[in-house]
Structure formats: structure tokens, C-alpha cells
Amino acid sequence: MQRRRFLESAFLGSAAMIIGFPNLYAQAASNIKITKIRYYAAPGYNKPLFNQARGIVEIETNTGIIGIGEGGSKDMIEQCAQMMIGEDPFRIEHIWQYLYRGMFYPPGREKLHALGALEMALWDIKGKALNVPVYELLGGSTREFVECYATGFRPSKAKTEEERATDCLKAGFRSYRIGPTGGNGDQPFDFFENADKTIAFSKRIDQAVGGKGNWAIDLHTRFDTPEAVKICSALEELSPYFVEDAIRSENPGVYKTFRQATKVPLAVGEQFGDRWDINELIEQHLIDYSRVTLPNSGGIVELKKIAALCETHYIGMLPHFTGPLSTAALVHVLGSSSPSRVMIEIAGGEVEKPAYFNDDYVKFSNGKLYLNPEPGLGVKFDPKKANFIMEITEKTKFPHPVLKSPDGAIHNW
């Protein structure tokens, strides 16, 4: 009898929450507005390898809730932020469409980077306002943890790459990623010589770690098609988890030819933006893994849409590493998505510990990232430890209209 009363009570309580939730949600959504957007530079980050901004944005609301995001250059953040003041931050897709379609020209990848940072902050606001982690808003967890692979492994004291790869796997990482030989910028890059050296290097790593996907290689788009085909063909008899960016990415259509030339698992997309950059590669089964990441995709929702494309076509997801907050956001996305094979890149084999975020901003252990149950993205930002750049408080009226259909959906102008 007590058990029956308990179940009845639990059911009625849950029903009350479900029935009441839409009203609470509508009330919160109608009352909350964006009032300020601030932009900071990450101290000490001088973009040594990538021309990729790692700014930090704060979106403040009239309720005092502040969301944080990562990415974007000053100019792009400023343009987008001026369009967001006064908007309801709960209408994330609406704001995304407004920023994406509100100007005449389609956004380039630089603007998508900024859009991704701002959209990330909107999800942080929504999670904090509703007191739930972002992954719950995205459908709830689909896995217990997200596997990781390491590009290099700084914790190792080994003197050879083979030994570092072995140490990486012992630390719990799923795979160890290497790069091609040559390409340090000090010497001319000889395609023929480095193709042969890269093949020999890959064979040593494969033997050291026992194959079985315990290693991967990024060719960094350094080779022209003949050498890229030669390398990939040689790697077919080995067991790499994936071969990344075998050729340059300006023309995705080239993979129609390249896919026919090799059977190795191909990973592409770290230089891409939204789903229109990669959809044909996925839909035509020209790649095995998407490397599209945050904030480059334009935001969390956009990456979830790419995840749906991947699931439909049996493509895995291996997002490129961009920054610490983006890594935290990736756990929410991949931890609530369904492609069977997902991994997150950890540069150097160590999680970054920026002074401006809380120490436990990500839950990392034994080469794996775990879902953060704190509200929003679960990351706390100390603006005093970052470099303030600007604050936007006023909405800019642009000289062209925003076209809407009768139901209020935004259309291109």
C-alpha cells in the first residue's frame, strides 16, 4: 500500500510539473530580455597556429542571468551583438536565423564563428534560467561519457613518438593522433620525400600500438592528390581510426574522386562552418567522420543538425579542438547525440586550465569527458582575469528590412 501511494504521489507530482512547465516557461521567456553583450580577449592566447579567434562573450539579461560563449572576432561580434539587444534569449533558433539571414550576403565562416559564440551563450542563459544542464535541453544524455583522442601527449616523458602513443593509450585515451612528416615551415616541403616518410612513420606507430584504431593521422591538407592517394592506399593495410584532411578543403567536390581512390576512414571538416559546407559529403557517403566543431559551425543547434545528418548516413563525429569553453559545450552536444562513434580532441593530451574559468569546468578523467550536471554549460567565468574589449548596449537599426512570412518566420532579404 505504501509503495502504491508513493508511486501515485510521484506520478501526480510529475504530472503537475509537466502541466505547469509550459506556463512557467512562457512566463520566463516573455519577461527576459538581452540588455548587454560584452566581449573579452583570452589573455595569453596569441593564435600561434590558427587564425581562429578565441574571444569570450557575456550576454547579460534584465533578470541578472549572464550566459558565456567562446569565439568570434571583435568586428563580427559587434555586428551580431547590435542586432541582439532587446531580444528574448529563449528564442535561440529565431535569433540565429535573424543573424544568419538578416544581412544581404550569406555569412562567411568568420561570422559563423562569432554567431557560434553568441548562440553558445544563449544556451547557457536558458539552462541557468531553467536550472538544468544544456544537455537536458537537447534531449538528455545518450552516453555515459565521450571518448577522447590526443594530438600529442605532453604528460609523457618518452623520447620516441611510439612510446608517447603507448603512454597515451595507457592514460585511457581511445586513440593517439599523429601528423605527417615535414611541414615545419623552415624547409621546402618535398611531396615525394615526405609521402614516403609519412607512410614509414605510420607503420611504426601502427605496430607500436597494435593497430585496432588506436592511432590516427592528420595529413593537414599538405599533400597534392597523387601523394595523398599514395599515403592513404598504403595505410589501408594498417588500422588507423581515421585519416584527417588528406587533401585541401576548398573544393569538397574533389572527394567524389578521392573517395573512389581509397578505402581508409576519411575525416573532414575542421575548417568548415554550417551544415551547407559538409552536407553533400555526408549525404553522398564521401567521408566517414565529420570534423565540424564549435563555435565554427555557428552554434550548438547547428551542430545538432549536423549530428542528425551524420546519424541518418552512418557517419561518426570527431569535432576539432578550438578552445576550452567550446570543449565543454561539445560534451553537451555529443553527450546528447546519437551517432555511434564520437570522440573529442584533446590537444596535447591535457585539458586546458585557463585562469578565467573554474578548475572543474569540464569533467575529465582517464582520457574521457563526462557530462557536467551543473545548470547551463556548467562553466563559471571570471571577467577580471580576462581582457575587456567592448560592451554593446544599444540595438542598431540597419537600413534594410527583415522579411517575415505571415507566420513570423524570417526569410532572406
State residue 204's pLDDT score: 98
Could you give the residue range(s) of every CATH 3.20.20.120 domain in the chain? Answer: 136-370
Residue with cell 561570422: 111
Q: How far is CA 73 from CA 49, 76, 356, 390, in A?
A: 16, 5, 19, 12
Q: Which band of pLDDT confidence, cut at 50, 70 and 90, is reported for residue 28?
A: low
Q: Which band of pLDDT confidence, cut at 50, 70 and 90, is reported for residue 26?
A: low
DSSP H/E element including 110 = helix 109-130
Could you give the residue range(s) of every CATH 3.30.390.10 domain in the chain? Answer: 33-131+382-392
What confidence tens digit (pLDDT) does each residue in 266-311 have?
999 999 999 999 999 999 999 999 999 999 999 999 999 999 999 9
Cross-strand bridge partners of residue 390: 39
Cα separation, 309 vs 101, in Å, equals 22
Three-state SS at 114 = helix
CB contact at 8 A, 219 and 184: no
State residue 235's pLDDT score: 98
For the record, the C-alpha cell of 250 comes out as: 576548398
Cα separation, 413 vs 410, in Å, equals 9
Taking residue 402's Cβ as centre, other Cβ atoms within 10 Å add up to 15
Cα separation, 49 vs 57, in Å, equals 22
CB contact at 8 A, 121 and 68: yes
Q: Name the nearest CA neighbour of 343 among 228, 225, 123, 173.
A: 173
Q: Which band of pLDDT confidence, cut at 50, 70 and 90, is reported for residue 2?
A: very low
Cα separation, 322 vs 333, in Å, equals 15
The CATH number of the domain covering residues in 136-370: 3.20.20.120
Residue with cell 576548398: 250
Cα separation, 238 vs 247, in Å, equals 20
Q: State which amino acid sits at residue 86.
A: G
The alpha helices in 313-355, defined as continuous H runs, are 324-334
User: CB neighbours of 392 closer than 8 A, spacing ≥ 6?
Assistant: 36, 37, 38, 39, 78, 81, 82, 85
What confidence tens digit (pLDDT) does each residue in 36-90 have?
999 999 887 766 555 677 899 999 999 999 999 999 999 999 999 999 999 999 9
Q: Calculate mean pLDDT across residues 348-361.
A: 95
User: CB neighbours of 60 closer than 8 A, spacing ≥ 6?
Assistant: 34, 35, 36, 37, 38, 66
For the record, the C-alpha cell of 303 comes out as: 551542430
Cα separation, 281 vs 270, in Å, equals 13
What confidence tens digit (pLDDT) does each residue in 284-294 have?
999 999 999 99
State residue 19's pLDDT score: 42
Q: Would you tell me which CATH number, out of the four given (3.30.390.10, 3.40.50.300, 3.30.390.50, 1.10.10.10), belongs to the domain 33-131+382-392?
A: 3.30.390.10
Cα separation, 206 vs 202, in Å, equals 6
Q: How far is CA 161 from CA 158, 176, 185, in A?
A: 8, 10, 21
What confidence tens digit (pLDDT) does each residue in 196-242 have?
999 999 999 999 999 999 999 999 999 999 999 999 999 999 999 99
Cα separation, 302 vs 339, in Å, equals 15
Q: Which band of pLDDT confidence, cut at 50, 70 and 90, is reported for residue 12?
A: very low
